[in-house]
Structure 1
Amino acid sequence: MAGHEIGMAADPHGLSAMLVGPLLYHATMRAGSVSPRLIEQLIDSLGEWHGTPSAPAGPGQP
């Protein structure tokens, strides 16, 4: 995400496991979908985000 940086809570391999594990669990063991709220919680758990969110680019904007 442009304009954002993260102070990671773990190494990249550990962060990958933290993200993929719950997604696989919900998709396979529970045979369900992953809620947007869970995805948000997973991303927030990666570490401390710095910067301000930018508005999504509209059509024709980079």
Structure 2
Amino acid sequence: MTHQTIYPSILYAGTPVVLAVSRNEGSTPNVTPISSAWWLEWNCVLGFDTHSKYRTEF
């Protein structure tokens, strides 16, 4: 099977719905939604709530 790399003029991935999961100090799960995601060229930018503990652990 062969593949072909493409370079589209715009990337459109729709609107993602994502839950980010990490572990707290006591091994309990820490689940938070990603509030936004967008792309700048080939880089993805993720948005987290400023009060989210996950943001400091990420």
- More helix by proportion, 1 or 2? 1
| TM-score after normalising by structure 1 | 0.19
Higher RCO (C-alpha under 8 Å, 6+ residues apart): 1
Highest CA radius of gyration, 1 or 2?
2
- More strand by proportion, 1 or 2? 2
